[in-house]
Amino acid sequence: MTCIDFLNTLRLTGDHAATAHAIAKEIEIVMPDDPPSAIMTAAQFNKLTDKEIDALPELPLVIARCDPETKVRMILAAGRRGKYTAMTGDGVNDAPSLKLAPVGIAMGMEGSDVAKDASELVLTGERGHVVDFMNSPLIVPADDNFDSIRLAVSEGRRIFDNIQRFILHLRKFSNRRTPFSLTYFRNSLRQRW
């Protein structure tokens, strides 16, 4: 299994239910064996209380005709289930959920300024644009493509694994100064984030 296998994509959209379902099938968010409750309209979802949402075996994979409140409720519901969520969006109506989600990702090419301001990350359209990330060059995705996010998550997890291996190496082969080194490393990460 790759790290991408652990990403669970949900589609919260303003599209009509039939359009949302067709797109979700095309990009394989919804599979033929998924139950009918995997697709809801915002009206159906909003009628549910928080207790009823929490009682669902799984959160819906697709919610059509979403408004900002529906997106916020979905992020809160995922949080109550212990899920770490990231929200992508490009419009003013996405700003509340982009701000609330642990990771808000705005579309840089087509996104509104309000969405960009509410987000933690903004995908940019500048080809080959390099930013300084913890004194290392990081190439920013050159599009608003969802696959760029998947690639970034994969790369981030690879970097995290390397940091963990480095720290384990330090602990195994260093002398008594290792706790100081690890404390300094952890504090420098906190300051940068």
Q: Cβ distance 85 to 101 under 8 Å?
A: yes
- State residue 106's pLDDT score: 87
What is the CATH number assigned to the segment(s) 3-144? 3.40.50.1000
Top-confidence residue, 147 or 9:
9
**What pLDDT was estimated at residue 50?**
96
Residue range 65-83, pLDDT digits in tens? 999 999 999 999 999 999 9
Tell me the residue length of the chain: 193
* Pairwise pLDDT comparison (138 vs 41), residue with the higher score: 41
Which helix (H) or strand (E) segment holds residue 123: the answer is strand 121-123
Beta bridge partners of 104: 87
> Tokens 């300084």, residue?
132
pTM (two decimals)? 0.71
pLDDT given at position 155:
82
Q: Does 26 score more than 70 pLDDT?
A: yes
Task: Delimit the domains of the chain by residue range.
Answer: 3-144, 145-193
pLDDT of residue 191: 52
